[in-house]
Structure formats: structure tokens, C-alpha cells
Amino acid sequence: MEAQTNPLIELRHISHEYAAVSQESDLVLSEINLSVNEYDAVALLGPSGCGKSTLLRIMAGLITPTKGEVYNKGMRLCGVSPGVSMVFQNFALFPWLTVRGNVLLPVGTLPAAEQQARLEKVLGTVGLGAYEYAFPRELSGGMKQRVGIARALIAEPEVLAMDEPFSALDVLTAETLRGEIGRLVADPNHPLRTMVFVTHNITEAVFLATRIVVMATQPGRVEVVVTNNLPYPRDTDAPEFKQMVERLHSILTHTILPDTSHPAQDKVVTKIDDFHRRIAPVALPYVTPAEVLGLMALLGDEPTDVFALAERFGKEFGSVVNVVKAAEMLEFVRTPEHDVLFTPLGRELVGASTAGQKKLVRDQLLKLKIFELLIRLIKVQEQHVLSAEEMLRELQVALPHEKPRPLFRTLLSWGRYAEIISYDQRRHIVRLYESRGAARARAKPGAPDGPGAHSPADPAAHTPAEPVVQSPAEPAANLPGGPVAPAQPAVPPVPAVPPVAAQAAQPPAGPPAQPGA
């Protein structure tokens, strides 16, 4: 339904970056053009970290984008949008106000009689008529979110913005509430006809939305907009519904698991010219070894759909996809289309003993460029001892688009599991792992030099600040992602320095039974 009049919300060339912590700017959204017309129900769908929530807040005028303009019915927005109400993921109910107090917040300026009339109507709509004088702490999660929705509806907004409204609820409650919102949207007499909501749940998007905006990450951008014209009320078991879900599955798979025909990718090769290539390592997804091993144990012999897996594990598909990606990088699974399949190595892993599993994982990890880099980094240090601080700095240089701390934790958890590295929490240092026996043997000359001995790379040839791995087949000279500055000092050291205020600001200096102590 193309609007002849101006759309309710229109985004033109929106880009947004957060104030950069380091010199690298943190681009959250890039070049977004989108419009929301009357009677639209728009779902913003995408993996975590794609800037969905930021985009929603930009539409509401809560965040001013660094580039681009927001239009509201043809007028340029330069403040908080007058016609937008918002529902928050964690409800954001004031604990000291009753349901009545919370719901009446946005309409305090109306005459008392009007307030009362609207309150009764809206509490009736969400089914909370008997809860007017309850405090939020007495309510269950689902009830709280009903209050949140009532508070948004009472202002009679032109657009209802919802930020993952059901994801803090348990599955059953979420289902109920989703159904109710679905009925409201479908009801031609109800004023709630235009809404924008953020979700990572495909079924939810297909169930509620007329248009589904699929977003991709790094930087956040609109991948494709899918129009969903299924008539309300929608039946999740209908073949058309399933077809739509399937279609979104494959779009998302291509967005999140790109180029699935190739085996595991552990490096990105960019051609600079005919003779030079830039090779940058790829980070492991932020998952733990236990998660990957768990996936392998639960994976059946049949090819299984990623989304079916997510449903079976009761997890958000984004996180399941990350686990699958990690397994794929280690060559334990293949992912043709959005199915997940064992590789022979994966089968071997499932059958192996605990020690055998460890060895298999270790061998696979040592093949990864990122571990190659890490081992080399440790080996060029004095006494082969790498400080956590230094490692964070190097990771930031080598992988400027990753968050150094989660990556650091991920590498530690894998490296420690596979007995490649060890980390001393007391002194915040990383070393190559060696068992007690090996350490004793090393005291004698000529003993093997830890797990790094398997690494083909020659430590002398590179400085640690150079994250780029030289491809053996190509001539030298390559540049890392950023300037080759040896250190980006903005990364804080691991032992977080407490703020100066810590002394007096921590008040528990007091009688033990005081609240707030």
C-alpha cells in the first residue's frame, strides 16, 4: 500500500556511530533508508549487534543519528518524536509507582476525567482491569509487559515502537502476549495500526509484521525488506506461513552464514594488487568449547536446519548460528544452505574419548590463523610470557572490527581447553601451555618447545605488532587493516582500575541489617 501522503516515519541516509573508544570509529548503522507508512507493522529482524535497537531509538528521536535525517509526516525531526510510544524489553516500570501511576505517566497533562477514561479503556485492552493499584513487583513478567504496553497505548500513539518486547518473557507467556498483540493489530477498530518492533524471532516477525526488514551486521545495514501480505489473523501452521518463515530462514542464513559452500574460513584474503594480498585472521565466534561439543553431541545423523536446532535448544538463533560457525571453522560440521551436517572429523569427535576430543580440537585450533598469530605473539615475548594487556592491544590491531575483550575471553577459553595456552589470573599473563612433565623435560636441552612447535610460522620473521599473515605463495609486503601503529593505547589493561570514587562511594560501612547496604 504505497502512501500518497508522506510516510509517518521516513529515514533518509541514516548512519550512526558511537563515540569511538579508539581511533577506529564504531559504525553501528550505515546508509539506512526506510519508511514506515500508516497501517504498517514493521519488524526489524537481524542478529544481535546489527543495530536494530539503535535504529528503533533513532526513529523515536531518542538518539540523533550522526548522519542522515529522520522525517515525521514530511517534517524533519529534531527532537523526540511526538507520535511515538515505546515498549521496552525489560519493561522499565517504576517500582515505586502502582500500575495506575505507571500507565498514567505519559498523559499527566490531560484532565483527570479523560485520564481515568483512557486508563480504564487501556487496562481493559491488556486485561489488567483488576490490577490498577498493584505495584510492579507483585506482577509476573507477562503482566509487567502488559503494563508496559498499556503505558505505551494510553498516549494513543501514531506509531508503537517495541524493543524486543517478548524476549524477557518465558516461552509460554511470550506466545500468549504475541497472540494478543496480533489480535490488536488485526482489529480494524483498534487505534493500534502502525507499529515498529525489534525482534530476533522469525516466527514472531512473520506472525505480526506486514513488512520485515532483515538487517545484516558489521556495519548494521538493511539487507532486504520482505513484504508479508498474509491475512490476519495468521495461523502459524498454515502452509503459506511456513513458506514465509522458510523464506526468511534462507535470507537470514545467507546474511549470517555467508558463502556456505566453502569450508571453514579462518582468514580473509584481500587482493591489493597482482602481487600482493592482505591476509587477516578471522576471529572465532564468541562461544565456548562446551557449547560446540554440546552441539556435536546433540546433532543427529540427519541434516538439521539451523533454525530447527535453535528451536530445539530453546536459544536465540543468532547464538546457535555462532556455535555452528565455530564448529564449521574447526571443520567439525558443514553447512550447505541452512542445514548442519557432520564432517567425518566431526563424527570422529563425537566418538572420541575426552582426551581424544581435546586432541582433535587442539589440532584443529592450531590450524587457525588466529591461533597461529597468538602463538607467534607469545613466542616473540621475553621468556614467552605475554601480558593480557599486550594481547588485548594486539587483538585490537589485528582485528579492529572485533570487540577485544570478548575475543580475548573466547581465545582463552579455547586455548585453555585445548591445552595450547595457559593464563595466570593472578598476574594476568598468557603463556604457552606445558604440562609439568614437559616443563621438566624442557630444562634439558633439545626438548620440544611447547605446542607452538607445530606452528609452521617462523617467529623471527615478524614483529608482534604485525597481525598480517604472509601467504607463503605470494611475495611479501602487506598491510594490516589499520595503520601499523604498534599499539593502540586506548585499550584499557585487564585489571580494571576502579574509579577514584570507590572509597566512600561504597556505602556498606554500616549496620548489617540496613537495606541498601
Partner 1 sequence: MAFTLVKPLGERRSALWLDAIIVLAIGAVALGLTQVAAQWRHPLLANVEIDISLKSLPRYAFFTFVRGWIAYFFSLLFTIVVASWAYYDQRARHYILPALDILQSLPVLTFLPGLEFGLVALFHRSNTGLELACILSIFLGQVWNMTFSYYDSLRGTPPDFRMLGKLYNYSWWSRFWRIELPFGAQALLYNSMVSMAGGWFYLTTCEAFTSGDRSFRVPGVGSYMAEAMSRGNVRAQIAGVVAMGVIIIVIDRLIWWPLVNWSVRFKLDDFGGNRAQRSSLQLWLARSAAVQGLSGVWQSLRNRLLPPPQPPCAATSLVAPGTKPPAPSRVGPVIYIAVLAALIALLGWGATRLAWMLGQVHVVDWLEMGRGAGYSLVRVFASVLIGTLWAVPFGIWIGLNPKLSGRLQPLIQFVASFPMPMIYPWLLGLIFLVHGSLGWGSILLILFGTQWYILFNVAGSAAAIPNDMISCVEILHLRGWRRWWKFLIPAVMPGLVIGWITAAGGAWNTTIIAEIVTVGPRTYTTTGLGSYIARAANDGRFAQLAASALLMAAIVVAINRTVWKRLQTLANDRCRFIT
Binding residues for partner 1, rule: CB under 8 A, are 57, 60-62, 71-72, 74-82, 84-86, 88-90, 92, 94-96, 105-109, 135-137, 155, 495, 497-517
Closest contact distance (angstroms) between CB of 317 and partner 1 is 25
The answer to whether 162 and 87 are in contact (CB under 8 A) is yes
Rounded to the nearest 5°, which phi and psi values hold at 508? -65, 10
* C-alpha distances out from residue 417 to 143, 260, 293, Å: 43, 27, 12
Nearer to partner 1, 105 or 485 (CB): 105
Closest contact distance (angstroms) between CB of 156 and partner 1 is 11
Query: What are the start-end ranges of the E strands in 118-234?
Result: 159-163, 195-199, 211-216, 221-227
Report residue 125 as a C-alpha cell: 485492552
The answer to whether 93 and 144 are in contact (CB under 8 A) is yes
Closest contact distance (angstroms) between CB of 59 and partner 1 is 12
* C-alpha distances out from residue 430 to 300, 381, 398, 452, 501, Å: 37, 10, 18, 13, 31
3 state SS of 122: helix
Closest contact distance (angstroms) between CB of 113 and partner 1 is 15
Nearer to partner 1, 64 or 463 (CB): 64
Nearer to partner 1, 94 or 275 (CB): 94
Q: How many residues does the chain have?
A: 517
Closest contact distance (angstroms) between CB of 330 and partner 1 is 29
* C-alpha distances out from residue 312 to 19, 48, 262, 297, 308, Å: 39, 20, 26, 13, 6
Containing 378, the helix (H) or strand (E) segment is helix 369-379
DSSP-assigned states of every residue in 405-474:
HHHHHHHHHHHHHTTSEEEETTTTEEEE---HHHHHHHHSTT---SGGGG--S-GGGS-TT--PPPPTTS
Closest contact distance (angstroms) between CB of 468 and partner 1 is 35
Nearer to partner 1, 86 or 329 (CB): 86
Nearer to partner 1, 79 or 231 (CB): 79
* C-alpha distances out from residue 373 to 22, 72, 77, 154, 389, Å: 22, 50, 48, 57, 16
Nearer to partner 1, 136 or 220 (CB): 136
Closest contact distance (angstroms) between CB of 118 and partner 1 is 13
Position of cell 531518542?
62
Q: How many CB atoms lie within 10 A of CB 167?
A: 15
Nearer to partner 1, 36 or 368 (CB): 36
Closest contact distance (angstroms) between CB of 197 and partner 1 is 16
> What amino acid occupies position 112?
A
Closest contact distance (angstroms) between CB of 396 and partner 1 is 22
Nearer to partner 1, 156 or 311 (CB): 156
CA 241 to chain centre: 26
Nearer to partner 1, 143 or 361 (CB): 143
